[in-house]
Structure 1
């Protein structure tokens, strides 16, 4: 975990994530199927790509107890709430507690605001994300759930002054990327189809921890 506190970045391999979560292939497959229930997110949709998205807001205490807060949509473009089955899935519960361990290494908060965003990216041609930073976020996590017919999608991580820290391209489901977002800028290269006749598909779970 020292690379997260020292450099602001930590990559947890898929096998280690599964071990830490106690997730068997069967429980992981059940968790993966939640992505089939996502809806189109109009705020992230372009001419050649679509993002399917939901969101949930939790409060997590230092003891590991957590509470799902009421969903308050802000306008038509706001993603819908997590389904009940997603919000209560044991894999999600285990992930929230695992991420709490990392967040506690970065800040001594006793209560955390946690936002959970499952999303599915569908790209017919190259789509990329510009550098971004969320200074109000302490810990940001991105879990790769599914990658199908997709290449690219390298995530370049730099300090706020542009110094390179690391470039990663998670390709194995279960890989978990952690960053200290107070210090790290993110940029993502294009994802594109390997076979042009069907779109690239990538399922991700993005989670952020901020002191409440």
Structure 2
């Protein structure tokens, strides 16, 4: 299987790259520089991915996805947790699971209490403010584990899509014993696209959701019969309110 390296940029090129082409990728070292955090601070977040309940809403009958969900409002350096609410996407953004109000287990207190968690939300908020103008951002946070239960796991069972927000950030938290999981980004209104595989823990793909669509290809176990998984943190930022309000 062909493997394409991600088109990473330096942290100080993030805003310009995102504005120019609608997406940007930072490697792990650039993420640490961008966040002003060391590797240990990010590693401290990772135990949360071992405590994700199964997603009971998968319409393809799969049992390969585990997740939690939390909501925040980010305005400048201020990060306000919001009450639990369902995750909602219209069918025009998610043909498979759109139109449902899906209640997922909340983020754990241990995760949200980590200093790196607040820093992630603040710095990603600064990126979307640079792109779209400073304002309050309505943020949904989704820790995901996609595993190879049944022989295959589908990070985006809905296919190539937009999320109906202003910015999407996909952090790769880790990969274990898998092949596949290629990220694909396409112009929403043009022919151009990129394909690459994130492999470094705490690398990130940031997407201007109005300009590009994205998907991630299925994963399979590296060794037949041995469970593998791919952990990600997806943050979405939207102006004006949460989808479904």
TM-score by length of 2: 0.79
Q: Tell me the equivalent position of 1:70.
A: 83
| Distance in 2 (alpha carbons) for counterparts of 1:202 and 1:28 | 17
Q: Tell me the equivalent position of 1:202.
A: 230
1:76–1:104 Cα change, 3 Å: closer
Aligned residues: CA RMSD:
2.0
Instruction: Say which structure, 1 or 2, has more relative contact order (CA 8 Å, 6+ apart).
Output: 1
**SS in structure 1 opposite 2:133?**
coil
Matched, 1:132 2:161: yes
Contact residue 49 and residue 121 of structure 1 kept, 8 A: no
For 1:145, which of 166, 173, 177 is the aligned residue? 173
Contact residue 7 and residue 165 of structure 1 kept, 8 A: no
Misfit runs of 4+, over 6 Å: none
For 2:41, which of 18, 27, 48 is the aligned residue? 27
1:71-122 CA distance string (max 9 Å, x none): 0348995211111111222111111111112101221141110000001111
**Where is the strand percentage greater, Structure 1 or Structure 2?**
1
For 1:43, which of 57, 69, 72 is the aligned residue? 57
| Distance in 1 (alpha carbons) for counterparts of 2:195 and 2:134 | 29
Q: Tell me the equivalent position of 1:122.
A: 147
Runs of at least 5 residues in structure 2 that lack an aligned partner in the other structure: 1-14, 88-99, 241-245
Q: Tell me the equivalent position of 1:2.
A: 16
How many pairs does the alignment contain?
A: 210
For 2:205, which of 156, 173, 177 is the aligned residue? 177
